[in-house]
Amino acid sequence: MSATDTIVAVDVVITSPGRNFVTLKITTAEGLVGWGDATLNGRELAVASYLRDHVAPLLVGRDPARIEDTWQYLYRGAYWRRGPVTMTSVGAVDLALWDIKGKATGQPVYQLLGGAVRDRILTYTHASGRDVPRLLDAIDAQRARGFLAVRAQSGVPGLGTVYGVSESGPGPGSGAGPDHARAGQGPAGRGAAPDVEIWDTDAYLRHAPEMLAAARAHVGPELKLLHDVHHRLTPGEAARLGRALEAVNLFWLEDVTPAENQEVLRHVRRHTTVPLAIGEVFNTVWECQTLITEQLIDFVRTCVTHAGGISHLRRIAALAEIWQVRLGPHGPSDISPVAMAASLHVGLSTPNFAIQEYMGYEPVVHEVFRHAWSYEDGYLHPGDEPGLGIEVDEALAARFPYEPAYLPIARRQDGSVSDW
């Protein structure tokens, strides 16, 4: 890429190899191609339209080397800013431009971010079961794949399907090796409308401490155990749950409350020392500001795609570092391997990066998105290919057309809608 290279094409690739992914492709006059992930689970086409209709025309003719200026242009330059659709779009452009800069300089992106500060990145995966015995089997299956940290979720007695719990336990992917670890929760339900799940907080609060104590007794003291509440509790309920879980020695308890109200975490913090992780639905540093600067959380979970790309995740990391908050970015199977690559380049080069979520992908997803990143013995590494280290097989991607899909909705026993 010379000083005069320009962006000549901006394309959006939508593919659905088992689940929907939106991918941004930026091409330069000198033939460099950069890839960015723009997947927003259940709202995919909104991001695709934002990129195609409102961003692509602005990028053609711009200098691809000006990553920060382009970020400022798309974020500060826009009157309507923030929000998941906008920030996922900005994130996709940012990833693609870092990919181009890496390819132009022949360097993996982590080298451009200051170089490695660690040799490999600790990862956690998911284990779940309809009941506790099935959960314990699922945890064993993930330990057999080498994972050193596992998120444990189970069904709740008296309730039907519970979000984040795979009906089939570890599933047929078990034999495929850790790099093909099967998703612990399926794709967003395909169909014209979201599935409805019934939620009962009291039943969950009776069950969760028992379930996690059983998991700890089963695995012994060393395995890192995590648990995700998916924003379902009030601050009082969250504080009680945190206290009840202290003996389990969790690595983290995630998303205890809907965190629009960052201040409510003060109450939770006053009553429990359980480590807290929040942030996968946040899109900017401002949404984490109180949580970080008042040390109300231990881990910030912002995703490299949904929080404005590598450039913005690094700013969140820098603020968090001052306050001894560490990063544990979102990495479910509904962000693509392109986002996983970007998160790992940040992870290798960021001192306060603690752990990367890795749910795994179906084998066909690894074929559509060929990647230099790899998994081994509980750790991930971004690889040393120039840029993000991603090649997208566009012909294969074209064989899997988009299908409408939604995350489920939770209703309480009385029929009212529960918080996510």
When the beta carbons of 99 and 254 are compared against Mg ion, the nearer one is: 254
Name the β-bridge partners of 199.
412
Provide φ and ψ at 380, rounded to 5°.
-115, 155
When CB distances are held under 5 to 8 angstroms depending on the partner's kind, the choice from Mg ion, ligand KDG, none that residue 334 binds is ligand KDG
- Smaller CB separation from ligand KDG, 28 or 356: 356
Q: CB 182 → ligand KDG: shortest distance, Å? A: 14
Question: Which of 163, 180, 218, 366 is an active site residue?
Answer: 163
Q: Which of residues 248-287 bind Mg ion (CB under 5 A)?
A: 280
Shortest distance, CB of residue 189 to ligand KDG, whole angstroms? 12
Nearer to Mg ion, 280 or 298 (CB): 280
Distance CA 239, CA 264 (A): 10
* Residue 129 binds: one of ligand KDG, Mg ion, none (C-beta under 5 to 8 A by kind): none
Query: Nearest 5 degrees, angle CA 26-CA 29-CA 34?
Result: 25
- Using DSSP's 3-state secondary structure scheme, residue 60 falls into coil
Q: How many residues bind Mg ion (CB under 5 A)?
A: 2
Of residues 280 through 299, those in contact with Mg ion by CB under 5 A are: 280
DSSP string, 71-128: HHHHHTT-SS--SHHHHHHHHHHHHHHHHHHHHHHT-BHHHHTT--SSSSEEEEEEEE
Provide the pairing of β-strand 276-278 with 196-199: unpaired
Q: Are 315 and 289 in contact (CB under 8 A)?
A: no
| CA separation for the pair 207, 230 (Å, rounded) | 16
* Beta carbons within 8 Å of 322's beta carbon, 6+ residues apart: none
Q: Which option in Mg ion, ligand KDG, none does residue 176 bind, with CB closer than 5 to 8 A by kind?
A: none
Q: Give the interface with ligand KDG as residue ranges (CB under 6 A).
A: 41, 228, 230, 280, 330, 332, 334, 357, 407
User: Comparing C-alpha atoms, which of 409, 412, 34, 53 is closest to residue 420?
Assistant: 409
One DSSP character per residue, 271-297 reads: H----EEE-TT--SGGGGHHHHHTT--
Bridge partner residues of 108 (DSSP): 387
| Encoded amino acid at 101, one letter | K
Residue 333 C-beta-side C-alpha neighbours within 13 Å = 25
| In the complex, least distance from residue 242 CB atom to ligand KDG, rounded to whole angstroms | 18
CB atoms within 10 A of CB 183: 21
Please report the beta strands in 294-382, taking only residues with DSSP state E, as ranges in sequence order: 299-300, 326-327, 356-357, 369-371, 374-376, 379-381
Query: What are the backbone angles phi and psi of residue 197, rounded to the nearest 5°?
Result: -110, 145
For the question of residue 163 being annotated catalytic, the response is: yes
Q: What 3-state DSSP class applies to 49?
A: helix
- Closer of 334 and 385 to Mg ion (Cβ): 334
Q: Name the residue whose CB lies closest to Mg ion.
A: 228
Of 253 and 320, which CB lies nearer to Mg ion in the complex structure?
253
Cα–Cα dist 146/48, whole Å: 37
Residue 356 CB, shortest distance to ligand KDG, in Å, is 11
CB of 43 or CB of 314, closer to ligand KDG? 43
Query: What is the smallest separation between the CB atom of 188 and ligand KDG, expressed in angstroms?
Result: 7
Active site (annotated) includes residue 379: no
User: To the nearest whole angstrom, how small is the minimum distance from the Cβ of residue 281 to Mg ion?
Assistant: 8
Cβ of residue 143: shortest distance to ligand KDG, in angstroms? 19
- Gyration radius from the chain CA atoms: 21
Q: How far is the CB of 128 from Mg ion (least distance, A)?
A: 13
Residue 357 binds to Mg ion (criterion: CB under 5 A): no
Residue closer to Mg ion by CB (options 331, 387) is 331
Tally of CB atoms within 10 A around 148: 18
298: partner contacted, choices ligand KDG, Mg ion, none (Cβ within 5-8 A by kind): none
Which of the residues 209 through 238 are near Mg ion (CB under 5 A)? 228
Q: Which does 332 bind (CB under 5 to 8 A by kind): ligand KDG, Mg ion, none?
A: ligand KDG
List 126, 207, 227, 230, catalytic entry = 230
Q: Are 146 and 377 in contact (CB under 8 A)?
A: yes
Q: Which is nearer to ligand KDG, 44 or 385 (CB)?
A: 44
Contact partner, 357, from ligand KDG, Mg ion, none, Cβ < 5-8 Å per class: ligand KDG
- Report, as residue numbers or ranges, the catalytic residues: 163, 230
By the criterion CB under 5 A, which residues form the site for Mg ion?
Answer: 228, 280
